[in-house]
Amino acid sequence: MELIEAIYQRRAIRDYTSAKVAASTLNELIDAALQAPSAMNHQPWAFAVFQGRPRLLEYSVRAKAHFLAMVLAPFGFHERGDTLTDPTYNIFYNASTLLVICARHEGLNPAEDCCLAAQNFMLAAHAAGLGTCPIGIARPWLNLPEVKEELGIPSDVAAVFPLTVGYPASLPAPTPRQAPDVLCWKNDNPDPAGP
């Protein structure tokens, strides 16, 4: 697949088949993630993999409860009638694999570096016929000290970019993009052929 095709065709996938993602496939995609640029080449990323639908369903219940109580409630959003209050809503969309790209506290921009690695992973996954969806809702729960200890994420590492991985059961329609908000474009040489 051409890179530009992957960029334009990748979608957040929220419907997965029960097919498992092989460890070898995940390792290849993680290798693609490692090719991302990082500030001063510090490569501050680390990876946590969780597999199995029952496990992810249990994490979903706990992460959703934490998000509602600790993240939304302080802002008065506890009455929201959207999917988050729906007990049947699985924040991982029945995927059987969750990858959490984590940042060691080193380098200049560890979180940004991890997001670049995540984009590499998602594009490579799309090219390999897999679907992914970033799951920002899970992040506050994943960063609780007791949850990190339980899951095996070291305390000095931050969960930055959780994403589901799996084989798409259906493909969503493209999400429209707004026109670019070009704030300024200064050019001392208005000749279009010039530098």
Ligand X SMILES: Cc1cc2nc3c(=O)[nH]c(=O)nc-3n(C[C@H](O)[C@H](O)[C@H](O)COP(=O)(O)O)c2cc1C
Q: Under DSSP, is residue 95 helix (H, G, I), strand (E, B) or coil?
A: coil
Smallest gap from residue 161 Cβ to ligand X (A):
7
Binds ligand X (CB under 6 A): choice among 11, 42, 53, 104: 11
Q: Which residue is nearest to ligand X (CB)?
A: 136
Residue 40's Cα: distance from chain center in Å? 23
CA distances in angstroms from 112 to 29, 32, 99, 118, listed in the order given: 19, 16, 17, 10
User: In terms of CB distance, is 125 or 133 closer to ligand X?
Assistant: 133
Distance CA(133)–CA(195), nearest Å, equals: 39
Owner of token pair 């049947």: 88
User: In terms of CB distance, is 85 or 134 closer to ligand X?
Assistant: 134
Which residues, including other chains, have CB under 8 Å from residue 189's CB and lie 6 or more apart?
195
Binds ligand X (CB under 6 A): choice among 155, 175, 178, 189: 175
Binding residues among 42-81 for ligand X as defined by CB under 6 A? none
Q: Residue 157 belongs to what H/E stretch? A: strand 157-166
Dihedral over alpha carbons 42, 157, 47, 87 (to 10 degrees): -140
**Stretch in the footprint of ligand X (CB under 6 A) among 11-19, 24-32, 33-41, 53-61:** 11-19
Q: Beta strand 45-51 with 97-104: parallel, antiparallel or unpaired? A: antiparallel
Smallest gap from residue 86 Cβ to ligand X (A):
13
Smallest gap from residue 99 Cβ to ligand X (A):
14
Residue 170 binds ligand X, judged by CB under 6 A: no
- Please give the size of the binding site for ligand X, defined by CB under 6 A: 9
Smallest gap from residue 79 Cβ to ligand X (A):
20
Binding residues among 115-154 for ligand X as defined by CB under 6 A? 133-137
Eight-state DSSP code of residue 188: S
Q: Can you give the binding site for ligand X, defined by CB under 6 A?
A: 11-12, 14, 133-137, 175
